[in-house]
Amino acid sequence: MIIEEGFAKFEAPYVNEKGPGKVRDVFYNRAMVFNRDTTIFLLYNIRMRDALDGLAATGIRGIRIAKEIGIKTTINDKNPRAVETIRKNVVMNHVDARVTMRDVNALLAEEKFDYVDIDPFGSPAPFVDMAIRSARVLGVTATDTATLGGRNRRIVRRYLANVHAPTYLIHEVGIRVLLGYVGRMAVRFDFGIEPLLSVWHGHFYRVYVTLKRGVSHARRTLEKIGQTKYGGPMWLSQIHDFEILLRAKIPEYIPTRNLMEKYLNLWTNEKHLFFYHLPTLASELHVSTPPIYMVIKKLKEMGYQSSRTQFSAEGVKTDAPVEVIKECILDLLNSY
């Protein structure tokens, strides 16, 4: 089947319309277009010289990087059927990309890249160590969101963490556990990390980090990882680079441009640790939940930072104390 995505036109032996797909197939996952668009968005706004698409399948992400960003790209997969498909797709798209058939960890051990992309089936944990030592900027996908959010005990052995967050918080917790894991793995090699962008959408988490070599960077990273009342270890600092996001441009040609605009607005305001879930606070007060936009507006009028979050349609990110938010809820209901 011939498919178009962004500037790329390519062949896919199998097409998966939703969810993570089947590990045995060389497949194109239509549900991950936004995932790939975040890569194009970020690389469009930062300067990279070269890139590796390490677990490429059909090669669509690497081909789009080469064609839409215009940087030197290596596209790798260890599956011979995948590599055959990638080579056909590289020729079809007239891109000068290097195609390799290697175990990605072996490739990462031997070569360094400005940008490394790891988009595995399931957990990225088996690839993080080698990617840290190869990349200047690292993009990582995790589709084992239930594990990262603490919904099963695999989190202990896979991410060396243990969390017990309420259901409404599991996605922010999951992102922070993933960032904390990458950070803890990095400091063992005297690297630190600085998050560039962190995304939850549908069935995946996606984090992008800059890797900084040096003991001082490693120490600063450790200072940003710790325990919370919901468990841990997890990342306790900013999950985005706001300097980049506030000046970022969205390429006109990306397929999910409208969705990206919505998310960019959310990302640029996610400046606080954890969000407050309005229905939970209202339940504690034994009252109904006022409209979220009214709560945000009132908190801003009171002088607090306040915004929506990507992690919940009913969540508010704010520097206001919880008692102030509850007071705000009661005041709004009394004014009806």
Same domain, 281 and 328: yes
Total of domains in the chain: 2
Same domain, 211 and 317: no
User: Poorest-confidence range of 7-16, 89-98, 202-211?
Assistant: 7-16
What is the rounded average pLDDT for all residues in the chain? 95
| Predicted pLDDT at 281 | 98
Same domain, 230 and 282: no
Mean pLDDT of 227-255: 97
Full DSSP string of 146-164: HHHTTSSTHHHHHHS-EE-
58-88 pLDDT, tens digit per residue, is: 999 999 999 999 999 999 999 999 999 999 9
| Predicted pLDDT at 187 | 98
pLDDT of residue 1 exceeding 80, the answer is: no
Same domain, 199 and 328: no
Q: 204: domain CATH number?
A: 3.40.50.150
Same domain, 284 and 256: no
pLDDT of residue 23 exceeding 70, the answer is: no
Q: Categorise residue 9: left if φ over 0, alpha if ψ from -120 to 50, beta otherwise.
A: beta
Same domain, 160 and 218: yes
123-151 pLDDT, tens digit per residue, is: 999 999 999 999 999 999 999 999 999 99
Question: Of 217, 239, 267, which residue is a domain's last?
Answer: 267
pTM, rounded to two decimals:
0.95
Question: Of 242, 267, 292, which residue is a domain's last?
Answer: 267
Q: 322: domain CATH number?
A: 3.30.56.70
Mean pLDDT of 283-289: 97
Mean pLDDT of 170-187: 98
pLDDT of residue 48 exceeding 70, the answer is: yes
pLDDT-above-70 percentage for the chain: 97
Same domain, 253 and 130: yes
Q: Which residues contact 106 (CB under 8 A, 6 or more apart)?
A: none
pLDDT of residue 24 exceeding 60, the answer is: no
pLDDT of residue 25 exceeding 90, the answer is: no
Same domain, 181 and 307: no
Counts for the chain of helices (H) and strands (E), in that order: 14, 17
Same domain, 115 and 229: yes
Same domain, 90 and 171: yes
Q: What is the DSSP letter of 9?
A: E
The number of beta carbons lying within 10 Å of the beta carbon of residue 23 is 9
pLDDT of residue 17 exceeding 80, the answer is: no
| Predicted pLDDT at 15 | 74
Same domain, 124 and 234: yes
Mean pLDDT of 169-180: 98
- What pLDDT band is residue 30 in, cutting at 50, 70 and 90? confident
| Residues linked to residue 228 through DSSP beta bridges, in sequence order | 231
28, 60, 104, 150, 174 from 181: Cα distances, Å: 28, 27, 20, 14, 11
For residue 74, give its domain range: 2-267
The number of beta carbons lying within 10 Å of the beta carbon of residue 173 is 24
| Predicted pLDDT at 31 | 85
Q: Which residues contact 260 (CB under 8 A, 6 or more apart)?
A: 34, 37, 38, 41, 250, 254
| Predicted pLDDT at 147 | 97
Same domain, 236 and 288: no
Q: What is the DSSP letter of 69?
A: I
Pairwise CA distance, residues 213 & 218, whole Å: 8
Q: Is pLDDT larger for residue 17 or for residue 231?
A: 231
**The residue to which tokens 């051990």 are assigned:** 109
Question: Of 213, 248, 267, which residue is a domain's last?
Answer: 267
| Predicted pLDDT at 266 | 98
| Predicted pLDDT at 2 | 87
